[in-house]
């Protein structure tokens, strides 16, 4: 059963695409960003300092969280998640859970920043989903407005650029395209178009891996 790695920068559409791929292929799905957000939320609730690696590591203990908790997606938690994800110790503490998920018998889809490079370097298909910073800022702005929050385009764009910079230049597991990843630029695609293109790319790659036409679930 296939393992599908979906990586990319903030608001590129990778989460929506990964979730849709999982549904389409009948595979379990993990949003690995939620793990970093859960650590950030713990730290925030305790009033811990994100600049203190040891405090961030302590916030990884007993990481129970409700994926539907709206606080996980709040702006302060997003900013802290980006800051604590640079720590080697934090990444190491979250590694096993992600690798176990990727290694389960039934296959899996995972989305994040380092799935194709660190978590599942042998994934059957790797997608790198991207879009221009301006398009991503517009999408994030819409998302915030839908949640009843006010923001300015220029601020959102600056935040996206800052996060890109931090995610791509960090020493440990930076955001980068795996050499064997397929790039999907969603700048000019709407949600349905992006999902359709992702399904097409993934199915073509899986079919190429099974040239005799054996079905995915076949013996």
Binding site for ligand CDP (CB under 6 A): 10-11, 15, 32-33, 36-37, 78, 81-82, 85, 112-114, 163, 167
Residues with Cβ within 8 Å of 149's Cβ and at least 6 positions away in sequence, in order, are 75
Taking the complex as a whole, the smallest distance from the CB of residue 85 to ligand CDP amounts, in Å, to 3
CB of 168 to ligand CDP, least distance (A): 10
Closest CA to 43 of 76, 68, 10: 76
**How remote is the C-alpha of 184 from its chain's centroid?**
14
Return the SS3 of 52.
coil
Q: d(Cα 198, Cα 164) in Å, to the nearest integer?
A: 22
**In whole angstroms, how close is the CB of 140 to ligand CDP at the nearest point?**
8
Q: How far is the CB of 114 from ligand CDP (least distance, A)?
A: 5
Token pair, residue 210, equals 């099974």
- Nearer Cβ to ligand CDP (85/186): 85
Nearest residue (CB) to ligand CDP, 126 versus 163: 163
Residue nearest to ligand CDP (CB): 33
Closer to ligand CDP by Cβ: residue 42 or 78: 78
Q: Nearest approach, Cβ of 112 to ligand CDP (angstroms)?
A: 3
Which residues, at least 6 apart from 87, have a Cβ–Cβ distance to it below 8 Å?
Answer: 53, 56, 57, 172
* Closer residue to ligand CDP (CB): 53 or 203: 53
> Which is nearer to ligand CDP, 15 or 48 (by Cβ)?
15
* Identity of the residue, 32 or 130, whose beta carbon is nearer to ligand CDP in the bound complex: 32
- The span from the CA of 199 to the CA of 194, in Å, is 9
- Smallest gap from Cβ 25 to ligand CDP, in A, equals 20
The answer to whether the beta carbons of residues 123 and 107 sit under 8 Å apart is: no
The end-to-end CA distance of the chain, in Å, is 10
How far is it, in rounded angstroms, from Cα 165 to Cα 35? 21
Question: Are the CB atoms for 175 and 86 separated by under 8 Å?
Answer: no
């Amino acid at each position: 059963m296939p393992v599908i790695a979906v990586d990319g920068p903030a608001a590129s559409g990778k989460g929506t695409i990964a979730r849709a791929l999982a549904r389409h292929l009948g595979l379990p799905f993990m949003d690995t960003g939620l793990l970093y957000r859960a650590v950030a939320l713990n730290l925030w609730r305790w009033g811990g300092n994100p600049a203190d690696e040891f405090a961030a590591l302590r916030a990884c203990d007993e990481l129970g969280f409700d994926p539907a908790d709206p606080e996980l997606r709040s702006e302060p938690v997003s900013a802290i998640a980006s800051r604590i994800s640079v720590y080697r110790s934090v990444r190491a503490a979250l590694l096993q859970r992600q690798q176990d998920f990727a290694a389960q018998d039934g296959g899996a889809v995972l989305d994040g920043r380092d799935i194709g490079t660190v978590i599942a370097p042998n994934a059957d298909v790797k997608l790198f989903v991207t879009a221009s910073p301006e398009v991503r800022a517009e999408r994030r702005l819409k998302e915030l407005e839908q949640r009843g929050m006010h923001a300015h385009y220029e601020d959102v764009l600056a935040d996206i650029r800052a996060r890109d910079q931090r995610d791509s230049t960090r020493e440990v597991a930076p955001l980068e395209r795996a050499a064997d990843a397929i790039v999907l630029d969603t700048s000019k695609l709407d949600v349905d178009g992006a999902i359709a293109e992702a399904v097409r790319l993934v199915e073509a790659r899986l079919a190429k891996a099974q040239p005799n036409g054996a079905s995915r679930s076949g013996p």
